[in-house]
A and B are shown apart, each in its own frame.
Chain A
Amino acid sequence: DTAVSQTPKYLVTQMGNDKSIKCEQNLGHDTMYWYKQDSKKFLKIMFSYNNKELIINETVPNRFSPKSPDKAHLNLHINSLELGDSAVYFCASSQEFGNQPQHFGDGTRLSIL
């Protein structure tokens, strides 16, 4: 009974392709997030959704498009993948937005060839 689950765990693809990463949480949380972790382990927020509504977009290229079909899901679609997109992408959720602990999935390691 994983709380925040992401698929796939690994994604290897070529430059220029389009790919999606899925995320689901079974915690009943209202808020979900996408983070990017680079090769130096630095974690940076990309997007935040609250009750299926986008509330934070941290200057991420518009090749990245999050979609939240319902409160329990936040998927990330990436168009025209570039070498610099190689990273580990983490989904997270919290009960509400703001001063709340965030619970993370185990990440999707994206490698661009």
Chain B
Amino acid sequence: GESVGLHLPTLSVQEGDNSIINCAYSNSASDYFIWYKQESGKGPQFIIDIRSNMDKRQGQRVTVLLNKTVKHLSLQIAATQPGDSAVYFCAEIPNSGYSTLTFGKGTMLLVSP
């Protein structure tokens, strides 16, 4: 389970609502972005990615929006379900040779039935 005093930013929604999770990234040279979902006791699970030559990409019930002007990334989840409850991370890779994923701090999404 979660540690006491974890204090992640938390978004609480009702089942069926649309959810929007936001992420600010710091490196203007980043050209690849990923959203991950992490359930308790599990590893991060890939949800959707987007490259810097796009500003929107849609998957099944999820949409990622990229605003390079303000270095902002968002994940929209349509018709949120209790199974969507998890911690969500954005991650970026700078456009520079050998680079690795840099993860954001994470947002906890809590979905009430």
- Taken together as a complex, chains A and B put the C-alpha atoms of A109 and B87 apart, in Å, by 17
The one of A40, A90, A98 in contact with B43, judged by C-beta atoms closer than 8 angstroms, is: A90
Q: Please report the total number of A residues contacting B with Cβ < 8 Å.
A: 25
Closest to B102 in A: A45
Decide: A4 near B43, CB < 8 A? Known: A40-B6, A41-B6, A41-B87.
yes
Q: Which of B11-19, B45-53, B60-68, B75-83 contacts A (4 or more CB under 8 A)?
A: B45-53
Chain A residue numbers with a CB within 8 Å of B42 are 106-107
The one of B41, B44, B49, B51 in contact with A104, judged by C-beta atoms closer than 8 angstroms, is: B44
- A-B CB contact pairs (8 Å), 30 listed: A33-B100, A39-B3, A39-B6, A40-B7, A41-B6, A41-B8, A41-B87, A41-B105, A41-B106, A42-B103, A44-B103, A45-B101, A48-B98, A55-B98, A56-B98, A56-B100, A90-B43, A97-B98, A98-B32, A98-B99, A99-B93, A101-B34, A101-B49, A102-B46, A103-B46, A104-B43, A104-B44, A105-B43, A106-B42, A107-B42
User: Which chain B residues in 85-100 approach chain A with CB under 8 Å?
Assistant: 87, 89, 93, 98-100
User: 18 extra interchain contacts, Cβ-Cβ under 8 A, other than A41-B87, A98-B32?
Assistant: A33-B100, A39-B3, A39-B6, A41-B38, A41-B106, A42-B106, A45-B102, A48-B100, A90-B43, A92-B43, A98-B93, A99-B51, A102-B46, A104-B36, A104-B43, A104-B44, A105-B43, A106-B42
Q: Is the CB of B43 within 8 A of A107?
A: yes
Interface size class of B (residues with CB under 8 A): 20 to 34
Q: Is the CB of B100 within 8 A of A45?
A: yes
Interface membership of chain B positions 15-27, coded 1 if the CB is closer than 8 angstroms to chain A and 0 otherwise: 0000000000000
- Taken together as a complex, chains A and B put the C-alpha atoms of A58 and B100 apart, in Å, by 10
Is B84 part of the contact surface with A, judged by Cβ < 8 Å?
A: no
The one of B3, B98, B103 in contact with A43, judged by C-beta atoms closer than 8 angstroms, is: B103
Chain B residue numbers with a CB within 8 Å of A39 are 3, 6
Chain B residue numbers with a CB within 8 Å of A33 are 100
Chain A residue numbers with a CB within 8 Å of B41 are 106-107
User: Which chain A residues in 54-113 approach chain B with CB under 8 Å?
Assistant: 55-56, 58, 90, 92, 97-99, 101-107
